[in-house]
């Protein structure tokens, strides 16, 4: 099967449509991963590109003081008569348009058109996000290419930011700086939650998705997704941090 041709320099909306038109249901992302890898190698020669299963990794080596990680999954939920994409006015319809090929398109476009960004960039396009966690391609990347997840800031280009669970493990500290009063606001207009300092983590029960107990006991040492520290923490009554799986 011929590898689809992607123009990473095209308008991101057109690029989103092109990505949607390549089916990539979880477990069947090879064709899209091939297309993304080929396009990055041909159109972004300033990037180091690595393939890991059906995940595609790319990064700059500019010697900048800070590094930003841009992560997005290539897979989608099952197709329901919504491929290929279609447009109605200014609205684009198709499987994976918002979850999350639009984000992938923006990241790929930036990678190809910004050869000298202010910060070093790492891009991680991974597979099997929409299925069981043990199949998630980001876990494989973490095991096989852990150095690629080191960054000062990680951004997941998906509208529903609560789904950034594993991308936040890139040792990045808090996702956003605290607003006045020591509180942060999640994207999407949800209610603000208490800010979590960089090296403090929650003391909820190990193995749970979220530890919401108020506690000043010593940290159990498991990696907290907000502070990413495996050492004992000051444990100052954090109620919002979530344990990494």
The catalytic site residues sit at: 75, 129
Task: Give the distance from CA 180 to its chain's centroid.
Answer: 27
Measured CA to CA, the distance from residue 209 to residue 207 in angstroms comes to 7
- Terminal C-alpha separation, the chain: 37
In sequence order, which residues have a C-beta less than 8 Å from that of residue 110 and are 6 or more positions away? 70, 117, 121
Tell me 4's DSSP state.
Answer: P
Measured CA to CA, the distance from residue 104 to residue 123 in angstroms comes to 9
Which has the closest alpha carbon to 196: 152, 230, 242, 149? 242
Measured CA to CA, the distance from residue 124 to residue 140 in angstroms comes to 12
Facing residues of 76 across strands? 25
């Amino acid at each position: 099967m011929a590898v689809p041709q992607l123009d990473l320099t095209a308008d991101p909306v057109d690029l989103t449509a092109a990505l949607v038109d390549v089916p990539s249901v979880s477990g069947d992302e090879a064709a899209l991963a091939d297309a993304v890898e080929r396009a990055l190698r041909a159109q972004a020669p300033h990037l180091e590109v690595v393939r890991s299963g059906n995940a595609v990794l790319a990064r700059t080596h500019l010697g900048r003081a800070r590094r930003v990680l841009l992560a997005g999954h290539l897979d989608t939920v099952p197709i329901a008569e919504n491929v290929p994409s279609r447009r109605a006015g200014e609205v684009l319809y198709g499987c994976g348009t918002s979850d999350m090929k639009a984000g992938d398109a923006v990241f790929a476009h930036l990678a190809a058109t910004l050869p000298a960004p202010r910060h070093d960039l790492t891009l991680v396009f991974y597979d099997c996000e929409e299925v069981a966690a043990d199949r998630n391609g980001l876990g494989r990347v973490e095991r096989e290419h852990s150095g690629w997840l080191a960054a000062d800031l990680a951004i997941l280009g998906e509208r529903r930011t609560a789904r950034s669970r594993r991308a936040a493990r890139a040792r990045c500290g808090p996702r956003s700086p605290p607003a006045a009063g020591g509180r942060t606001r999640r994207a999407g207009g949800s209610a603000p939650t208490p800010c979590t300092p960089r090296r403090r983590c929650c003391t909820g029960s190990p193995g749970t998705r979220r530890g919401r107990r108020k506690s000043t006991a010593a940290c159990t040492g498991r990696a907290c997704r907000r502070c990413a520290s495996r050492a004992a923490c000051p444990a100052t009554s954090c109620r919002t941090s979530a344990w990494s799986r």
